[in-house]
Amino acid sequence: MNKAFLHNSNIVSPLGFTTTQNFSAVCDGKVAMQNHVFNGTTYFASVIQDKLLDDAFIQQTKLNPKEFTHLEKMCILSVQDVTTHSSINVKSKRTLFIFSTTKGNIGLLENNPAKIPKDRIYLHKTAEVISAYFSFANKPMVVSNACISGLLAIIIAKRLLVDNQYDNIIVTGADVVSTFTLSGFNSLGALSNVVCKPFDKNRSGINLGEAAASILVSNQQQNGVEIISECSANDANHISGPSRTGEGLYKCLQKVLANNAVPDFINAHGTATEFNDEMESIAFNRTGIQSVLTNSLKGYYGHTLGAAGVLESIFCAEGLRQNKIIASAGFEKQGTSIPLNIITRTENKESTTCLKTASGFGGCNAAVLYKLN
C-alpha cells in the first residue's frame, strides 16, 4: 500500500520568503506581528510589505506585479520555491495542486486600485491563476473549511496518494490580512491588540497573520516525514465556539493516536482565545497526552487561517528533521484548567513523532500524526 510523506516546503511570511529563513527567524524568537493601520484603525497583525513582496515577485517571475493580488503573488512565490527545489514533473497528470484558503482575495470587496478582474473574488479563480503560472496538468482542487483548511488539505492529499491516484501533490495554504477579517474578528471580541499569548493565563485573543505556505506531499519515502494517521470530525455544538468538552478534537485524537500512541511533541492550534486553548487542554487530557511537550506557533505568526495548517505542519516536519522543539511564544503562566506541558525554550531535542491539531468555525476539528523516517 502507498504511503504519504512530507517533502520540500516553502513559507512566505513577514519572517522570510523561504522555510529556512522562517525556521531560523522563529528559532531566534522573532515575531511577525506589528501595529498596522487598516482603514484608519490600528491593529496588531502580521503583514507582508507590498514592496518586499513585489520586488521578490518581479525577480522570481518577471511578471507584472500589478496584475496579481497580494495573495496570488505570495502563493506563486511559494509554489515556485517548492517546484524549483524538487525533482517532480509539474506537468504530469500524476501531479495535483491543492489550494487551501478561507477568504481568498476578499480584499477585492473593499478596494481594487489595480483593477484586478472581479471574478478573482472566486476562490477557484484564484487557484486557477496560480495554477496557470505553473501549467499544472490537472485542474486545482480548492479546499475551504475554515481554520482547518490547511491541515485538511494535507489530509486529503494523503488519502489521494494512499489510493494511488497521484504521485505528487503540492498543497498550498494561504490567506491575507484584510479589513474584512480584522473588523470581523474584532466584532466578535476575539482580537488582541498586543502579541497573542496561546495557553497563557492572561491570553486575550488572536492576532491575525498572513502567509502562504506550500508543501510537497508525495509517495516517495526517502527524506520524507511520514503522515501516519489523520482525522477530521465535527463538534456538532456551535458554529463559532468550540465544544467545551472538545468532543470533535477528542474524537480525532482517539483515531489518530490509536493504540495509545504518544507523540514526542504536539503543535497545537493554540489561537490564544479563552475558549480554543481551554478546549484543546481538555481534549488532550481526555486523550492522556496532557504531559507531552506542546507549543503553538501563533505567538510568532498570528493566526494565518487557511495557511495555518500547512505552515505549522512545515514546522512540525522541520522540528523532527532538525531535532528542535520550539518555544511557545507568548506563554508565561499556565492558563488552562488542565495544565499543559508548554515548551518554554527553543532547544535541541530528538523527536520521532509529532501531533498537529487544528480547529475552526463551523465546529470542525482535525488532527494528524507525523513521523520522521
Partner 1 sequence: MSNYILSYTKIKNNCLWHNGKLIIQSPETVNYTSFLEETYKSLSLSYPKFFKMDALSKLGILCAEQIFADENISNLYPKEKTAVVLSNKNSSLQTDVAYSKTMGDFPSPSLFVYTLPNIVTGEIAIKHQITGENAFFIEPTFNADLLHNYAQLLLQDSAAVLCGWLNIDENSYEGLLYYVAKPLANEEKKTNFIKHNPINIAQLYTK
Partner 2 sequence: MENLIEILKKQIIEQLNLAEVKPEDIDASAPLFGAGLGLDSIDALELIVLLEKHYGLKIQDPKDAKNIFQSVKTLAEYITSQKK
Residue 240 touches partner 2, criterion: CB under 8 A? yes
Task: Give the residue with the Cβ less far from partner 1, 92 or 138.
Answer: 138
The nearest distance, CB 316 to partner 1, in angstroms, is 21
Residues 325 and 348: their CA atoms lie apart, in Å, by 6
- Binding residue for partner 1 (CB under 8 A) from 173, 224, 246, 248? 248
Q: Which residue in 188, 194, 258, 262 binds partner 2 (CB under 8 A)? A: 188
- Regarding 238 and contact with partner 1 (CB under 8 A), the answer is yes
Residue 41 near partner 2 by CB under 8 A: no
Name which position in 187, 260, 337, 348 contacts partner 2 (CB under 8 A): 187
40: left (phi over 0), alpha (psi -120 to 50) or beta: left
Contact by Cβ (8 Å): 214, 154: no
Distances (CA, A) of 37 to 134, 174, 194: 34, 21, 14
Contact yes or no for 143/149 (Cβ under 8 A): yes
Of these, 81, 210, 235, 280, which contacts partner 1 (CB under 8 A)?
235
Restricted to residues 95-124, the positions that interact with partner 2 (CB under 8 A) are none
CA distance 274 to 304: 18
Q: Which does 361 bind (CB under 5 to 8 A by kind): partner 2, partner 1, none?
A: partner 1
Chain position carrying cell 515577485: 57
| Residue with smaller CB distance to partner 2, 241 or 362 | 241
Choice from 93, 238, 244, 349 touching partner 2 (CB under 8 A):
238
What is the rounded distance in angstroms from the CA atom of residue 267 to the CA atom of residue 315? 9
Residue with Cβ nearer partner 2 (37 or 239)? 239
Residues binding partner 1: number (CB under 8 A): 51
Stretch that binds partner 1, among 13-21, 138-146, 215-223, 266-274 (CB under 8 A): 138-146
Q: What is the DSSP pairing of strand 364-372 with strand 34-38?
A: unpaired
Determine phi and psi for 252, rounding to 5 degrees: -60, -45
Residue 163 binding partner 1, by CB under 8 A: yes
Nearer to partner 2, 113 or 189 (CB): 189
* Contacts of 175 by beta carbon, 8 Å cutoff, 6+ apart: 71, 101, 102, 103, 104, 181, 210, 211, 304, 305, 306, 307
How many residues lie near partner 2 (CB under 8 A)? 6
Task: Measure the CA–CA gap between 200 and 303, rounded to whole angstroms.
Answer: 16
Q: Residue 239 interacts with partner 1 (CB under 8 A)?
A: yes
Q: Which residues bind partner 2 (CB under 8 A)?
A: 187-189, 238, 240-241
